[in-house]
A = this chain, B = another copy of it.
Amino acid sequence: MAQITIQDVAQMAGVSPATVSRALHSPHLVSKATRENIERIIRENNYIYNAAAADLSRRKSSVIGVFIPTTGGTVFASTVGAIEEYAYERGFPVMVSNTRYDPEIEAVLLHKCLERRMAGVILTGYCQANEELILSMAEKGLHCLVAWEILPETVPLSYVGIDNYQAAFEATDYLLELGHRRVGLIVGPRSGILRARRRYDGYAAALEARGIPCDPALVIERHPTMLNGKEAMSRLLRLPKPPTAVFAASDFMAIGAMAAVRERGLRVPEDISLMGFDDIEFTNYTSPPLTTVRVPSWDIGHLAVSLLMDMIESGDGVPRRLCLDTQLMLRKSCSQA
C-alpha cells in the first residue's frame, strides 16, 4: 500500500537515486542497460513519481496557469483549448482559473500561482486594476503573458493579442460605409475591461473620422452575455430614434440582440443591421448568419504557449509582443442603410 519511492526503485535496481532520477529525465546520461532495467522495475512495481517532491526540489513547478474571466462557454474557450493542447504536447500541465471579472479574485489567484511556483501564467481578459500586481509578479520570477490584448510599449509585459481598437474602428466604419448614420454600440464595461474600452474607442474614433457625433444614448455597457445583449438591444429599439445599425462588440451580445430584434417583430438586416465581434462558431448558425470580426482565437492560444515557453526557457525578462490580424467576416446581418 505504501507508495514506492525513488529510493526503493534505486535499491531494487542496485543503483543510486540519482541514477534513477537521471534515467527519468535525462536518459542520455545513463547507460542503456541501466536505463532499461530501471524502466522495467518502475513498471513492475508500479512506481508513481511524486510531482510535489520534484517541484520542491527544483524550486519550480512545470504547471502553467491560465486565467479567464468567466467559464460559461466563453469566447476564450477556443483560446484555452489551444493552450491546453499545445501545453500538453510540451508536457506542461495547465491550471485554468476563473476570475469572474473580479480583480480581487484575480489577485488571490495570482498569489496562488506564486505559492505553486508556477512556470508561467497566461492572462486572458486582462484587468487593468491589477496591472501593478502583475508587473510585480513578473519581477518575482513568475512569467506572465497577456492574451487577447495589446499593451502600450511603456508596459513591460509580454502579450499575444489583437488590436481591439483598430478592429472596432474597421467594423464601425464598415457600417458607416453602408450608409448608416445612427450606429448603436453594445459593449462590455469600459471601466473594468480593457478590451471593452479599446473597442469603444475604436467605435468612437470611426464615427469621429466621418464627422458623426457620438450619441451616448446609443451606447450601452454590459457584461458580455446573451441576456445582456438582448436587454441592451431592447432598450435601443425602444428609443424615440432607434439606430439603424448596431455594433455588438461581442458575439454573445449580438446573439442576444438578434433575439431582441426578432421579438419586436423586426428583421435583421432588413430593419436593422447587426455586427458582432469575436467570430465564435455559433455565428455561422444564426439566422441570418452574423457579420462579425474574426479573432484568431485558437492562434492566440497557440502562440501564447510558444512565447511563454520561450520566456521560461530563455529566462531573460525581455517582453515578447505579438499583434495578430483580425478580419471582417461579411455574412448576412448587415445591409445598406
- Give residues in A with beta carbon < 8 Å to B: 48-53, 55-56, 61, 63, 70-74, 77-78, 80-81, 84-85, 88, 93-98, 100, 105, 111-112, 114-117, 140, 226, 230, 255-256, 258-259, 262, 280-282, 284-287
Contact = CB atoms under 8 A, between A and B. Distances in A.
A217 to B, nearest CB: 25
B262 A282 contact: no
Contacts of A280: 73
Contacts of A98: 81, 84-85, 88
Given A88-B105, A94-B95, 6 more contacts: A51-B117, A72-B81, A73-B73, A93-B97, A93-B112, A287-B287
Contacts of A55: 52, 55
A280 B255 CA distance: 14
A65 to B, nearest CB: 10
A81 B81 CA distance: 16
Given A56-B52, A77-B77, A93-B95, A72 B116 contact: no
Nearest to A66: B96
Contact of A52 (B52, B71, B77, B230): B52
16 contacts: A50-B56, A53-B56, A70-B81, A71-B77, A71-B80, A73-B77, A73-B78, A84-B97, A88-B98, A96-B96, A226-B281, A255-B282, A258-B285, A259-B285, A259-B287, A262-B287
